[in-house]
């Protein structure tokens, strides 16, 4: 049985997936994909506590083995380091994450190999019993292995205050500003004005919402663009054995596959989990994305693309103890695009075993 007092924890994820469309294209290519993911976590302190310092160091490689398309074999990596220090009223944190990814994306309709470097600094200050001030600075660098895909460098600063209107409800407002350096496209600056809401009732319902508008300016090629933005997270623990979750966003992203284009992505997804016989769980998740592509440079091709993507994923898990999880799932996804090359449907059947110590 795992010893929770140890600062080092180990894990192993094993999965086998049959995917009938590994490249997410109209003409399907199927394969059996084996994934082996050992992991190690060093942790000191309690990340969930508001008043305790903590250090987290995490490393997980994932060995991907394709039965029929061995040229797609790869090793993904996830390295994450976090440190937080709490003073009397001030809490400071910094984190650095590196991800080496190799998966098919809806934007590219192909397996995309990329390296993502994310640096984040966080500051929270309790000005009074009711008023708190928050700031998050993020730097994200994405490098693609394919030279035809657009590398990006993005910097973002998000600041806001929260006022405790009631013991359960916090309201606030604040600006977010950013700069995007996108290869093969004009540089971009953007400003957002966001209202913030946090609601927590009796430990059963938790809602976090940031919503507002964004004004994006381009170095050249097109006029300013004003769009709605929001980020939603919600959880409802209906009973000890039944829980619901809901999330959504509206954001602008740089297209990796279509040079000189961004896409405005509006997404919502939710799920329900039901425990039965104490050790078994049945869950179902579903989601919908609308992606509207915008031309921002004269070298753009395949302009005017619009995607409507949805997925549904039922699954079942057996969790006999706190160190073993055995699960099976099925996922069906479909993208209806106004460009034939981007439309597809995909079915995935997976079984996985997770061990933790």
Bridge-based pairing state of the strands 54-66 and 324-337 = unpaired
Calculate the alpha carbon distances from 103 to 110, 183, 256, 340, 346 in Å: 8, 21, 13, 21, 14
For residue 168, pLDDT over 60 is answered with: yes
In a 13 Å sphere around the CA of 246, the CA atoms on its Cβ side amount to 9
| pLDDT at residue number 49 | 66
Residue 194 to residue 214: CA distance in whole angstroms: 9
Q: Which of 153, 147, 108 is nearest to 302 (CA)?
A: 108
Output the pLDDT for position 259: 87
Domains and CATH numbers, the chain: 77-356 (2.40.170.20)
Helix/strand number for the chain, H first, E second:
0, 18
3-state secondary structure of 130: coil
Residue 132 has pLDDT above 90, yes or no: yes
Tell whether the model's pLDDT for residue 201 goes beyond 90: no
Which pLDDT score is estimated for 47? 67
Angle at 249 between CA 80 and CA 254, to 5 degrees: 70
Cβ-contact 250, 292 below 8 angstroms: no
The full DSSP string for 296-326 is: -STT--STT-EEEEEEEEEEEEEEEETTEEE
- Whether residue 321 contacts residue 338, with contact meaning beta carbons closer than 8 Å, is answered with no
CB-based contacts of 274, cutoff 8 Å, min separation 6:
241, 242, 281, 282, 283
% pLDDT > 90, the chain? 89
Contacts of 89 (CB under 8 A, 6+ apart): 125, 126, 127
Lowest-pLDDT choice from 73-77, 147-151, 301-305: 301-305
Region 228-249: mean pLDDT is 96
pLDDT tens-place string over residues 293-304 = 999 987 777 789
- Is the pTM higher than 0.85? yes
In this prediction, residues 69-81 reach a mean pLDDT of: 98
pLDDT at 4: 52
Check pLDDT > 50 for residue 209. Answer: yes
For residue 344, what are the β-bridge partners? 335
Q: Which residue has the tokens 């981007």?
A: 342
- Residue 70: strand, helix, or coil: helix
pLDDT for the residue 50? 60
Q: For 96-100, 175-179, 230-234, 292-296, which range has the lowest pLDDT when averaged over its residues?
A: 292-296
Q: Can you point out the beta strands (E) in 3-71? A: 8-19, 31-45, 54-66
Mean pLDDT of 84-91: 93
pLDDT at residue 33, rounded to an integer: 98
Token pair in block for residue 328:
């099976």
C-alpha–C-alpha distance, residues 299 and 30, integer Å: 34
Q: How far is CA 273 from CA 74, 282, 316, in A?
A: 32, 6, 9
Structure tokens at 133: 């001030």
Exposed, middle or buried, 330 (CB in 10 Å: 0-12/13-18/19+)? middle
- pLDDT for res 144: 97
- Per-residue pLDDT at 1 exceeds 70: no
In order of 51, 82, 155, 325, the CA distances from 93 in angstroms are 13, 7, 17, 32
pLDDT digits (tens, 9 = 90+) for 314-354: 999 999 999 999 999 999 999 999 999 999 999 999 999 99
Q: Given a cut of 70, is residue 10 above it in pLDDT?
A: yes
| pLDDT averaged over every residue in the chain | 94
Per-residue model confidence (pLDDT) at position 42? 95
CA distance 267 to 281: 26
Q: pLDDT at residue 75 above 50?
A: yes
Instruction: Specify the pLDDT at position 5.
Output: 65
Q: How far apart are CA 14 and CA 183, in angstroms?
A: 37
Please tell me the predicted confidence (pLDDT) of residue 223: 87
């Amino acid at each position: 049985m795992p010893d929770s007092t140890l600062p080092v924890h180990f894990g192993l994820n094993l999965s086998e997936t049959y995917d009938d469309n590994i490249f997410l294209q109209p003409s399907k290519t199927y394969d059996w994909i084996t994934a082996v993911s050992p992991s190690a976590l060093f942790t000191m302190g309690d990340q969930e506590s508001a008043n305790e310092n903590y250090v987290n160091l995490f490393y997980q490689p994932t060995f991907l083995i394709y039965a029929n398309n061995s040229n797609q074999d790869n090793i993904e990596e996830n390295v994450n380091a976090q440190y937080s220090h709490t003073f009397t009223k001030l809490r400071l944190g910094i984190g650095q994450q590196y991800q080496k990814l190799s998966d098919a994306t809806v934007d590219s309709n192909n397996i995309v190999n990329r390296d993502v470097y994310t640096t984040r600094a966080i500051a929270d200050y309790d000005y009074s019993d009711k008023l708190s001030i928050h700031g998050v600075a993020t730097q994200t660098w994405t490098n693609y292995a394919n030279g035809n895909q657009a590398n990006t460098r993005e910097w973002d600063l998000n600041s806001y205050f929260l006022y405790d209107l009631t013991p359960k409800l916090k309201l606030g407002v604040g600006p977010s500003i950013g700069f995007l350096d996108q290869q093969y496209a004009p540089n971009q600056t953007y400003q957002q004005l966001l209202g913030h809401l946090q609601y927590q009732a009796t430990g059963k319902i938790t809602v976090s919402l940031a919503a507002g508008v964004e004004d994006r300016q381009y170095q050249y090629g097109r006029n300013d663009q004003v769009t709605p933005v929001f980020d939603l997270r919600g959880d409802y623990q209906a009973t000890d054995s039944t829980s619901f979750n809901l999330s959504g966003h509206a954001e602008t992203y740089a297209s990796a596959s279509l040079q000189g284009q961004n896409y405005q992505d509006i997404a919502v997804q939710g799920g329900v989990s039901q425990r039965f016989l104490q050790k078994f769980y049945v869950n179902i998740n579903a989601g919908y994305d609308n992606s509207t592509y915008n031309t921002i440079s004269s070298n753009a091709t395949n302009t005017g693309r619009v995607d409507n993507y949805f997925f549904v994923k039922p699954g079942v898990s057996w969790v006999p103890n706190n160190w073993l999880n055995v699960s099976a799932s099925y996922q069906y996804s479909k993208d209806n695009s106004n460009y034939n090359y981007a439309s597809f449907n995909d079915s995935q059947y997976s079984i996985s075993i997770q061990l933790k110590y």
